Structure 1
Amino acid sequence: MIDGFSQSFVQTNGVRLSVHRAGKGAPLILLHGYPQNHACWSRVAPALAAQFDVIIPDLRGYGDSDAPVDDAEHTTYSKRTMARDIAGLMDALGIGRAHILGHDRGGRVAYRFALDHPDRLRRLGIIEIVPTGTFWAAWDAKLAMKAYHWTFLAQPVPLPEKLIAADPVGYIDWTLRSWTLEKSLDVFPKHALEAYRAQARDPARIHAMCADYRAGATIDRAIDEADMEARRKITAPLMYLWAERGFPAHSGDAAGHWRDWAEQVQDRSCVSGHFAMEEAPEDVIATFLPFFKAG
């Protein structure tokens, strides 16, 4: 699905992850967000693979990876559990340390990995999020309307699953379109758009996506708040890219939020909606390729 990349499957932390890989050099792991999968990296991964060993897993619950049923405490889809998936993936591939770049939910897995596995991380890239606890604390009426899915998807089983099941592709198309700068699906490569629609047709994956957000409203937020109280910080160099029309831009000082969480922060902005890798791939490459090469 991504030019030059091959697919394999890796068993780790109780799940089988689908993994796409290409290139040579220092390992660079790319983590996608909601409601996407590995295909969101199609326009930037080949350029990164010219310099790095690029590894793109589908997070648990997404793409071709396993989608286990959630548990009552939502640990199954907590970012701590997903970060353990990535640590286990590195173990399976014989990788000691890697760069990690994450977008959206993948960004949340990436910074949780940075906090929980600091010795396994070289440099950290984050696209288009602020930390989970920080984002919840920033909510006002305007942000609540824009980010309504945070509360909708986090409702108890099976309410959001049943409502989305009435028209899963329509719901995903609405979500994707509404978060772009141009309010158009044309920004997505055709093969990627179909991959997002295909996983939306699978009730197990819709359940997984809801579970991802249930974790965000409960256990992920609690872990973040405990880390903030303990004054834990990300020690790896962090590069942050945020879209001028995306979610973090509505949360206050987006880059400043990361400086509360990390010791070394650089930031850039781009003219884009939420899906920077597909809407502004040149900006993503220009931001992160030199950053990771410097590491």
Structure 2
Amino acid sequence: MASGLPGFTQTRIDTNGIGLSVHRAGTGAPLILLHGYPQNHMCWLNVAPALAERFDVIVVDLRGYGDSDAPPDDDAHTTYSKREMARDIVGVMDALGLARAHILGHDRGARVAYRLALDHPDRVDRLGIIEIVPTGDFWASWTADLAYKAYHWTFLAQPAPLPERLIGADPVGYIDHTLQSWTLAKSLDVFPPAALAAYRRQAGDPARIAAMCADYRAGATTDRHLDEADRAAGRRIAAPLMFLWAETGFPAQTGHPADLWRAWAENVQDASCRSGHFAMEEAPQAVLDAFVPFFAA
């Protein structure tokens, strides 16, 4: 069926015990795009058609987001761990007959992407990361100023149902505030109307609000512990890595975000752009300039 991304078709793939919504277009080397919070596949609207001119582009709604299933969380917060989400993406690759692919992720999707590269190194050709540093490193970098700006990391991770109830009082207002406050211009105008409508519609589903909170509960527990164990074991990302960070985004607050990635990966390139957190919508050309040559190399 038709997708909200021009030229893409949407299908459903059942894998790892859930159903995932997948959008696909283009020919060439396979390139999987993974969105972040509080968004879905529509965050790629400004760049996916251009990428599809060079690559076989596969855009996945992560579990709990978009049109994918939103299973309930478990007590140990593994259901929305990035390890489990990475298994989802491996399942999508298996269903599509892809032995390997390039992976590009933003925000939460970037956390899935680097976990995929760590847990399944034989499936990742090149790894693209937009606007995050590794989960364990981000927690370790917290100062009073960063805690103030990234308050959602602790708010959303509070035990259920506190954040769900508070967000549920005005879900669209909360999502609008989050989106607007993380942009450079402090404006919703940077988001294409169709994308903004998709984010607002998603926010109206209590199951998806619960899934977003579960995503961050996993980040505060399971994901952080996995990073710490990998760091202690000396595990590193083998795939070449390209890191794009916004000059006013969250990674920039850690001081030297590219250096954090160089401690995790063998081969790291980086670039910055004049943008807030949502680079694909605020600075789409910068995203294309960074990643088209990287994935085409």
- Superposed, which structure 2 residues align to 1:221-232 within 5 Å? 221-232=224-235
Q: 1:51 aligns with which of 51, 54, 60?
A: 54
1:144 paired to 2:151? no
* In 2, Cα distance between equivalents of 1:35 and 1:164: 12
* Equivalent position SS for 1:21: strand
Match of 1:28 in 2: 31
- Secondary structure of the 1:257 match is helix
- What is the letter of the counterpart of residue 95 of structure 1? L
Distance in 1, Cα, partners of 2:216 & 2:255: 22
Equivalent residue in structure 2 for 1:175, among 175, 178, 196: 178
State the alpha-carbon separation in 1 of the partners of residues 223 and 254 from structure 2.
Answer: 18
Q: Does 1:77 align with 2:80?
A: yes
Alignment correspondent of 1:248: 251
Equivalent residue number for residue 259 of structure 1: 262
Give distance in 2, aligned partners of 1:232 and 1:105: 21
Cα distance, 1:252 vs structure 2: 1.7
1:41 and 2:44 equivalent?
A: yes
Residue in structure 1 matching 2:209, options 185, 206, 209: 206
The CA distance in 1 between the partners of 2:255 and 2:160, in whole Å, is: 32
Question: What TM-score, normalized to structure 1?
Answer: 0.99
Give percent identity, aligned residues only. Answer: 75
Aligned to 1:7: 10
Q: Could you tell me which residue of structure 2 aligns to residue 126 of structure 1?
A: 129
Deviations 1:222-277 (A, max 9, x none): 00000000010000000000000000000121000000000000000000000000
Question: Which of 71, 93, 96 is 2:96 aligned to?
Answer: 93
Structure 1: how far apart are the matches of 2:193 and 2:9? 19
Segments of 5+ residues of structure 2 without an aligned counterpart are none
* Counterpart in the other structure of 1:187: 190
Give the one of 10, 18, 22 matched to 1:19.
22
C-alpha RMSD over aligned residues: 0.3
Alpha-carbon distance between aligned partners in 1 of 2:17 and 2:254, rounded to the nearest angstrom = 36
* SS of residue in 1 equivalent to 2:126: strand
User: What CA distance in whole angstroms lies between the structure 2 residues aligned with 1:155 and 1:194?
Assistant: 27
Unpaired runs of at least 5, structure 1: none
List 4+ stretches of structure 1 deviating above 4 A: none
Paired letter, 2:257: A
Secondary structure of 1:157's partner? Answer: coil
Instruction: Note the alpha carbon deviations across 1:94-118, whole angstroms, 9 max, x for none.
Output: 0000000000000000000000000
| Aligned residue number for residue 118 of structure 2 | 115
Match of 1:165 in 2: 168
User: In 1, distance between residues paired with 2:213 and 2:238?
Assistant: 31
Output one character per residue of 1:191-233: Cα deviation in whole Å (capped at 9) or x when no partner. Answer: 0000000010000000000000000000000000000000100
Q: TM-score, normalised by structure 2?
A: 0.99
* 1:275 alignment partner in structure 2: 278
Paired residue secondary structure (2:231): helix
User: What amino acid maps onto 2:233 in structure 1?
Assistant: A
Deviation for aligned residue 1:152: 0.1
Give the Cα separation in 2 of the matches to 1:248 and 1:206. 25
